[in-house]
Chains A and B, each alone.
Chain A
Amino acid sequence: MYEFDWSSIPGALPLLGKGLLVTLEVTLTAIVVGIGWGTLLAVARLSSNRLLSFLAAGYVNLFRSVPLVMVILWFYLIVPQALKGLFGQDIGDIRLVSALVAFALFEAAYYSEIIRAGIQSVPKGQVAAGLALGLTPGQTMRLVVLPQAFRNMIPLLLTQAIILFQDTSLVYVIGLSDFFGTAYKVGDRDGRLVELLLFAGAAYFVICFTVSRLVKHLQARFIK
């Protein structure tokens, strides 16, 4: 019978806390950049300019069709090599930066689809009203359509954020010590892998479940 020994956890808490900060940093960067870049992609995809729309669709389809793990590895292994070739100098430890870039660009593809649906959920008459007042198409998008689109999308955006928060654990493939990676390393070091992974799982559960309850609450408020 396996005997649980949780004693290595209290001492590892500062380390785990550091890991959690990395996880949060990757998550928040991906949310902020992802929503910003995703909005531009969504607007480009819905624009009447064929080329813009085609390029945005290509970007979204590409990133949605490859596994996230591969994108993380690309940005860790290939892009830095290319940059090194270009600038001819070593660029030090790029694990965090490459993870930030990979997640931001990857998430933008998913966010852009959510935002596109959000934009399309705003009645066409609102656009007509904005244009009829003399607002330019750009002003109409920015002042009339997007604020309403984002309000409709808040629950979906938060749900995507929860998925993203869990997905950041994939950075273990490039050896970055996020929350999960740190838990794994500590468990490995102390020979207490089972306990550490159970603890990490519980922590992920508590955080995600709390946020998803919040989403439910918001949904109820916005739908009525």
Chain B
Amino acid sequence: MIEIKNVSKWYGQFQVLTDCTTEVKKGEVVVVCGPSGSGKSTLIKCVNGLEPFQQGDIVVNGTSVGDPRTNLSKLRSHVGMVFQHFELFPHMTITDNLTIAQVKVLGRSREEATDKGLKLLDRVGLKAHAHKHPGQLSGGQQQRVAIARALAMDPICMLFDEPTSALDPEMINEVLDVMVELAQEGMTMMCVTHEMGFARKVAHRVIFMDQGRIVEDAAKDDFFGKPHSERAQQFLAKILQH
């Protein structure tokens, strides 16, 4: 579903990604972790072309992201993305947040879009908040709306860019619960996250990045059992201590 082939990226002179190669198969849940500044967020933003890259290629469902002839808007319309800071549109109601892209991009009627949006809102347990603005919701609630907004586009896969790192600890679980459910339904997911509990529960594979490189790319049990690289061992030792 997502093939990342030898991707390298520079910000000016500074190389942020070095020769990254991996793959996410249909129905697979892949967790990307690593220390901050390791390039994991940059890598996931390359997948839907939000960040350009200079070398290599990424192919999503048969479409090349790096090809200048690719209609990126069309490609993005069926790749859902959830951001660290939610990025709901603050000037719109929750309902409008859920429907705007369905109407403007997919050409659905307002009724159809609202119907779909409200169903998904119900699914993330927030139906009562449809008429509110994002500012009136807690962080965890906003992130659940953001997930519903992405799902409303009927995505073929979902990208999560540190979806819980801006949340208060007590709100993390409500978001993870939605993600776990999604994973168990067979959604193809690529998640940048430090939530190792989530990784253990639903991930098929774990990718560990450091200094712009994919250092470790292993099945979940192998990764948590005995990571090959020393760097990954150190990282795991630190975050699993508590």
Contacts and interface: CB of A to CB of B under 8 A. Distances in A.
Interface stretch (B74-82, B178-186, B234-242): B74-82
Given A128-B50, A132-B76, A133-B149, A139 B87 contact: no
Interface residues of A, number: 18
Contacts of B48: 132
Given A125-B83, A125-B85, A129-B83, A135 B91 contact: no
A148 B81 CA distance: 21
A125 B77 contact: no
Contacts of B153: 133-134
A133 B45 CA distance: 13
A58 interface: no
A123 B134 CA distance: 15
Most buried by A among B77, B90, B153: B90
Given A134-B76, A134-B101, A135-B105, A148 B90 contact: yes
Contacts of B126: none
Interface string A130-146: 11111110010001100
Contact of A132 (B81, B88, B89): B81
B109 to A, nearest CB: 17
B87 A134 contact: no
Given A131-B73, A133-B76, A133-B77, A126 B105 contact: no
Contacts of A134: 73-74, 76-78, 101, 105-106, 153
A133 B72 CA distance: 11
Nearest to B84: A125
A144 B134 CA distance: 14
Given A125-B85, A128-B83, A139 B91 contact: no
A147 interface: yes
A223 to B, nearest CB: 14
A144 B89 contact: yes
A151 interface: yes
A5 B194 CA distance: 81
A125 B51 CA distance: 12
Contacts of A130: 89
Given A132-B50, A133-B101, A133-B149, A126 B89 contact: yes
A126 to B, nearest CB: 6
A148 to B, nearest CB: 5
B50 A131 contact: yes
A139 B91 CA distance: 15
A151 B90 CA distance: 11
Given A129-B81, A130-B89, 16 more contacts: A123-B85, A125-B83, A126-B89, A128-B87, A131-B72, A132-B76, A133-B100, A133-B101, A133-B149, A134-B76, A134-B105, A135-B104, A139-B105, A147-B91, A148-B89, A151-B91
Top 3 nearest A-B pairs by Cβ distance? A134-B77, A129-B87, A133-B101
6 contacts: A125-B85, A129-B89, A132-B48, A133-B101, A135-B100, A139-B105
